[in-house]
Amino acid sequence: MNGPTDRFSLLQTPNKDAAEARLARLHDTKNFHVTLKQWRALHAVVDYGGFCEAAEALHLSQSSISYAIAKLQEQFGFPLLKLMGRKAELTAEGRALLTRSRNLLSDAVELEMFADNLRRGHHSEIRMAVDADFPTHLITQALCRLKERGHDIRLALSELTSTEIDDTLRSRRADIAIVRQTLPGFNHMRLFQVEYVAVAHAKHRLSRLKQELQCVDLASEIEIVITRGGPQHPVERDHRVPIQSQRWYVQSGDTAIRALCDGIGYAWLARHQVRTLLENGTLCELRITSNSPRTMLLHLASVRPLASCERIGLLADMLHGMAQEEQRRAACKALLSVG
């Protein structure tokens, strides 16, 4: 029978190994002076551009945010922020700490969410936020191909505006997202280039002109515009729209298409959204003089490196492959139509 000391033999290590083990576990002896709430306050001030905006985003009082930042600077012994007018900007030291602390907050949030998902039995679910202009049929096709190969991935999908996606990623309410522009602190992969075309009903006056359209041709027409929740959209950036033109603002592409099919106005829409209607002759693509192509490059953004999670990595690779196939088919079709 083993003696009492034998039962603890796994914990007994040579002096050198014991010293290395103690060094590897500094958190056992190191006192933590900074809380996650203080780091969160600093991130919010930087990400939202000020103390007032951070307080509103975190649903706290501005004095709470100010106190957390003041305490943080007092504990480190140097300033992390400097006020430039009404805007707070990072000092060099603040920028260095912010970069490293983002991973700290990300890991803490993910750990709690992982535990919560285990409790609810949702440990295999991937949360994904998608820009409304991305062709979502590529996502369903990617999932189907993965299922055929033995990977049954559960996906919680949300179609959001650009601003909503940014907030969702920063608050770690999504694991991956399809975004219009790269975001600091996240991993990105170039995914899909959306082409926008001006369209109207085939019987609309603009379609019947059968010529390149000038600004004067558009001045008296209604332009149907989708409110997209961000200033970086290529359609919204264009300032050559005639001042006299009327604009109808709608919330979705489906609403815009219904209005066009009723013969109302014209709109700039993603080609993939109206491809079928263009092919069957319901809508007509308008040619506008001196109008450069309107495109937008969408990226796949992830909270963690794609390789760190097998399921997310598989989905990202498959989705990237599907997007490339789609773009190659579109390019070939365009060449054939020109020929």
**Residue extent(s) of CATH 1.10.10.10 domains in the chain:** 36-118
Contact between 163 and 232 (Cβ < 8 Å): no
Task: Provide the CA 163 distance to its chain's centre, in angstroms.
Answer: 9
Q: Note the pLDDT of residue 19.
A: 53
Q: Which fold has domain 119-184+304-338?
A: D-Maltodextrin-Binding Protein; domain 2 (3.40.190)
Q: Which fold has domain 36-118?
A: Arc Repressor Mutant, subunit A (1.10.10)
Q: Compute CA distances 275 → 65, 206, 252, 280, 338, whole Å.
A: 50, 19, 17, 9, 16
**Residue extent(s) of CATH 3.40.190.290 domains in the chain:** 193-296
* pLDDT tens digits for range 284-296: 999 887 666 788 9
Burial class (CB in 10 A: 0-12, 13-18, 19+), 8: exposed
Q: Compute CA distances 86 → 45, 50, 55, 73, 196, whole Å.
A: 12, 7, 15, 19, 38
Q: Could you say which residues of the chain have pLDDT below 70?
A: 1-32, 110, 113-124, 228-245, 290-292, 334, 337-339
Q: In terms of Cα–Cα distance, which of 254, 252, 135, 261 is closest to 201?
A: 261
Q: Which fold has domain 193-296?
A: D-Maltodextrin-Binding Protein; domain 2 (3.40.190)
Q: Note the pLDDT of residue 8.
A: 35
Q: Note the pLDDT of residue 9.
A: 36
pTM score above 0.85: no
**Residue extent(s) of CATH 3.40.190.10 domains in the chain:** 119-184+304-338
Q: Note the pLDDT of residue 35.
A: 84
Please state, in angstroms and rounded to a whole number, the distance separating the CA atoms of residues 47 and 216: 43
Q: Note the pLDDT of residue 27.
A: 52
